[in-house]
Amino acid sequence: MKLLALHSDFIKYEVTKKTKFAETIDDDLKKNGMKECLTVFTSVEKDDVGDLDALVQEAAKAVREIAKQVKVDSVFIYPYVHLTSSPAEPDFASAFFPALLDELSKDMIVKRAPFGYYKAFSISCKGHPLSELSREIHVSVKKDEQLVSEALKSEATIHSSWHILTTEGELADISEFDFKGHENLKKFVDYEVSGSRIAEKDPPHVNIMRNMELVDYEPGSDSGNLRWYPKGTMIKRLLEQHITNLTQSYGGMEVETPIMYDFQHPKLSRYLHRFPARQYTVLSGSKKYFLRFAACFGQYLIKHDMTISYKNLPIRLYELTHYSFRREQAGELSGLRRLRAFTMPDMHTLVADMKSAKEEFFDQYKLCIKWMDELGVNYEAGLRFVKDFYEDNKEFATSLVKQLGRPVLIEMWDERPFYFVMKFEFNFIDALNKASAFSTVQIDIENTKRFDISYIDEDGKSKNPLMLHASISGAVDRNVFGILEQAYMDSTKGKKPMLPLWLSPTQVRLLPLNDELIVYCEEIAKFLGDIRVDVDDRSESLGKKIRMAEKEWVPYIIVIGEKEKDTGMLSVRDRELGSQISVTAEDLKKNIENSISGFPQRQLPLPFLLSKRPKFRG
């Protein structure tokens, strides 16, 4: 950025012609001026594009220093592209000037000329030794550095305290709370307070996901980008469909937005630094883009363009992002627990005021409890507040704990490090005692103003709503991690590891004693309808076939012989019960359909006959 600062007797201008890049202005900006001031001719350059807030701060610092030298408290900002041969994109430059005016207005008298117009102007420079000064401002990110948001930097320095909130509303310091009977909560507390996210070794689910041919590492891509085999893909798609159905039933309107956004977009550029994530950057020609790390960007821009009445609130937009990207640190990557490319269901809700926000928060909180209970994993809750907000909303905090029915961890921030005043997360504790956030909801008090999202209230006035960020399930990939880790931990207690029945790639496996019985197996499969049934027709011993089915965690294993064909009674190995039962095909069908009722269904992900299946891992 280049600045030319003139200590002026006066400056006055009048707009003569509008360019195609012109900002929209009121009449008072078409003709204006100032006396006894510092006139700052300003040119925003290509290398300035990136952190708009940082650029504004540095420019304001330079202007204040010059103003102090010439002893003035009045500044006139004049966009002047002719100071540079390498101007920034107009969208970014036009956003800079009102932002600089807002910053300088905190302690000075400030006016500005409009951006994107030809103007006739007159100026009188005082002519003393300090009356003509120039400055160059450089705020850039080295090309080989990843962009680290201001929120991440704040997260590392912000002070917070840790407490336990009970169902009775008692707030205790973590050092004073008796964790007897709440050992899993103690593991969560220890993990959070330690601040370490590094995985010293692979958690058990990594071997499971690879050995069962669900998911695997992809050597041809960046770390944290995985390959999904057919069985794993089916599990993932069922989870995606279930969370979409749940969110749409709640009122979420599904949208789809791009995965790539322009670094030079003024509002998005500023938001990047308010979100605690590391970004991937992509170069296309001379332009720089970032890969989204959430569905926020597209949904904000949609909401900005919408016409909204108070009668429309609450408004819930929902997107299942394939994919979101965060450039996590290498030591944090660990199987499905933490990825660089992941699938994230995101819902953003607009509400009129804080009362409505808390009501909506509570409803979404209950929806998250439903999701976690259906997922079948053990979890702990973390509530995070700005201290002042907690003090004003103690009863609300206690109501959340009562709804869950057990104590929760509270993190209290002395000041607001992000754009939200409170949030919650449901955290799963894995076999290595690492916590991973699943469901979450946040109350955002900042971004509707930042993105000019508004609604018309009952009095016909335009207002900025509040906004809730929610991911009812959290990352779908991480849900698979939780299910596999939970199964492993169950197995250490003597229980056979299992997937939920509705997620099992094969729900019923038929083992014919000879090839002539394959046709009968096909008849059984046809009768069972949408239930996922396959047939082990390979030339292997019965014992080996059973061991194979057990290794794949097949819930129901049925040996088919002449007796079964003649009587119609099926001898079923029930993995969950750990026993063998005798039922008809009709009763088996009813039992399975009752168990998976309310969950989405999907076809068998691999060929019906095991002899036709390829092996995905050597």
Q: How confident is the model at residue 417 (pLDDT cuts 50, 70, 90)?
A: confident
pLDDT at 91 over 70: yes
- Nearest CA among 44, 92, 333, 46 for reference residue 217: 333
Measured distance CA(190)–CA(479) in Å, rounded: 22
Q: Write down the pLDDT at residue 143.
A: 39
pLDDT at 199 over 90: no
pLDDT at 318 over 60: yes
**How confident is the model over 168-186, as a mean pLDDT?**
95
Question: 194 or 356: which carries more pLDDT confidence?
Answer: 356
Q: Write down the pLDDT at residue 215.
A: 97
Dihedral (CA of 418, 419, 422, 428) sign: negative
Q: Which two tokens stand for residue 339?
A: 């990825």
CA angle 87–62–107, rounded 5-degree value:
115
State the fold for domain 2-136.
D-tyrosyl-trna(Tyr) Deacylase; Chain: A; (3.50.80)
Measured distance CA(375)–CA(81) in Å, rounded: 57
Q: In what order do the strands lie in the sheet with 556-560?
A: 533-535, 508-512, 556-560, 569-574, 579-584
CATH number of 501-612: 3.40.50.800
Task: Report pLDDT digits (tens) over 472-522.
Answer: 999 999 999 999 999 999 999 999 999 999 999 999 999 999 999 999 999
**Can you give the pTM of this predicted structure?**
0.78
Q: How confident is the model at residue 109 (pLDDT cuts 50, 70, 90)?
A: very high
Mean pLDDT (the chain, rounded): 91
Of 339-343, 362-366, 467-471, 597-601, give the lowest mean pLDDT range: 339-343
Q: Write down the pLDDT at residue 144.
A: 37
Q: Write down the pLDDT at residue 145.
A: 42
Q: How confident is the model at residue 328 (pLDDT cuts 50, 70, 90)?
A: confident
Structural domain boundaries of the chain? 2-136, 150-154+183-484, 501-612
Measured distance CA(475)–CA(346) in Å, rounded: 9
Task: Report pLDDT digits (tens) over 145-161.
Answer: 444 555 555 555 668 89
- Domain at 150-154+183-484, CATH homologous superfamily: Bira Bifunctional Protein; Domain 2 (3.30.930.10)
Quote the percentage of the chain above a pLDDT of 90: 77
Task: Report pLDDT digits (tens) over 158-175.
Answer: 688 999 999 999 999 999
Q: Write down the pLDDT at residue 147.
A: 47
> Can you spell out the DSSP letters for 121-182?
EEEEE--STTSEEEEE------TTSPPB-HHHHHHHH--EEEEEE-TT--EEETTT---TT-
pLDDT at 65 over 70: yes
Task: Report pLDDT digits (tens) over 329-363.
Answer: 777 788 999 899 999 999 999 999 999 999 999 99
The SS3 assignment for 455 reads strand
pLDDT at 9 over 70: yes
**How confident is the model over 241-268, as a mean pLDDT?**
90
Task: Report pLDDT digits (tens) over 557-566.
Answer: 999 999 999 9
